[in-house]
Amino acid sequence: MKKFRNTGNPIYSSVAFFVFVIAWELAVKAKDIKEYILPAPSAIINEFIKSGDLLLFHSVTTITETVIGFILGVILAVVLSVIMSNFEFIRNALYPFMILSQTVPIIVLAPLITIWFGIGIVSKLVVCVLVVFFPVALSLTEGLNSYDRGLEELLRCMNANKMQIFFKVKLPSASVHFFSGLKLAAAYAVMGAVMSEWTGAQNGLGIFLTRSMKSFKTAAMFADIAVISLFSILLFAFISIIEKKTIKWNLKG
């Protein structure tokens, strides 16, 4: 078990990353690949320096959309999950539709949402809320209904009310599921904001990416993708930190 866990050492990942970057740089230089086809890492770094202010400007828009949409999506998911866990007929009515909704790619819905809500921030928030809501709601609903029934019966024998059972039994058992849904949503949240910007926006990393693509500025596209990935990683890491501080037991077993 210790050997398996040691493979997660960040030093290994860092070394592998730098080896990959160096190999990439050397391969591009050796093959004399044109920058518009595949830029070298040095060209991407130069693009960061050259377009840093512009990337920062567009990043603020995308981060704002992502954070607000993420918070709203989580709140909506928690409220609906709690309702479904307490009212079986509502869960039976809505749960199949929640699962069915995952069969429709958000990139298909994004143009429709833009038509309905315009190119302003509202359409971007709607897309972010949708991509965040469903993984969190599905995970939390599953968690709230997978608690220990024996422990519930024990608390009932001790005259515990529904609120006490919820906070003492259901909520702790659902914590792992909840944070799993949050981390999955974090990976999708920034992507949802960027996709919504593709369908119509004035600012944002999605717009920067589209403009760079039309101008064949491949290095700028890579720089934009790197920023998008960084935001997703930071959001994922932030949730992981909260998870470790919130859940008292060792998740690794």
On whether both 176 and 194 belong to a single domain, the answer is yes
Tell me, what's the pLDDT at 128?
92
On whether both 142 and 167 belong to a single domain, the answer is yes
pLDDT at 133 over 60: yes
pLDDT at 75 over 60: yes
| Close Cβ partners of 188 (under 8 Å, ≥ 6 residues apart) | 131, 132, 135
On whether both 125 and 55 belong to a single domain, the answer is yes
Average pLDDT rounded to a whole number, residues 142-166: 71
Q: Residue 102 domain-assigned?
A: yes
On whether both 101 and 189 belong to a single domain, the answer is yes
**CA-to-CA distance for 2 and 198, rounded, in angstroms?**
45
On whether both 93 and 152 belong to a single domain, the answer is yes
For residue 161, name the pLDDT band (cuts at 50, 70, 90): low
Q: Residue 104 domain-assigned?
A: yes
On whether both 7 and 51 belong to a single domain, the answer is no
Q: Residue 251 domain-assigned?
A: no
On whether both 25 and 87 belong to a single domain, the answer is no
Domain that holds residue 125: 39-246
pLDDT at 85 over 70: yes
Q: How many domains does the chain have?
A: 2
On whether both 25 and 76 belong to a single domain, the answer is no
Per residue in 208-242, pLDDT tens? 999 888 888 899 999 999 999 999 999 999 998 88
Q: Residue 88 domain-assigned?
A: yes
On whether both 82 and 202 belong to a single domain, the answer is yes
Q: Residue 114 domain-assigned?
A: yes
Higher pLDDT, 6 or 142: 142
On whether both 135 and 240 belong to a single domain, the answer is yes
For residue 9, name the pLDDT band (cuts at 50, 70, 90): low
Tell me, what's the pLDDT at 5?
45
For residue 252, name the pLDDT band (cuts at 50, 70, 90): very low
Tell me, what's the pLDDT at 72?
95
pLDDT at 69 over 90: yes
Per residue in 51-64, pLDDT tens? 889 999 999 999 99
| Close Cβ partners of 180 (under 8 Å, ≥ 6 residues apart) | 139
Tell me, what's the pLDDT at 120?
85
Q: Residue 253 domain-assigned?
A: no
Q: Residue 207 domain-assigned?
A: yes
On whether both 26 and 43 belong to a single domain, the answer is no
Higher pLDDT, 167 or 41: 41
On whether both 46 and 163 belong to a single domain, the answer is yes
Higher pLDDT, 194 or 175: 194
CATH number, domain of 212, equals 1.10.3720.10
Mark out the alpha helices in the chain (DSSP H runs). 2-6, 10-31, 41-50, 52-86, 88-101, 106-117, 121-144, 149-157, 162-165, 171-198, 205-214, 218-246
Q: Residue 79 domain-assigned?
A: yes
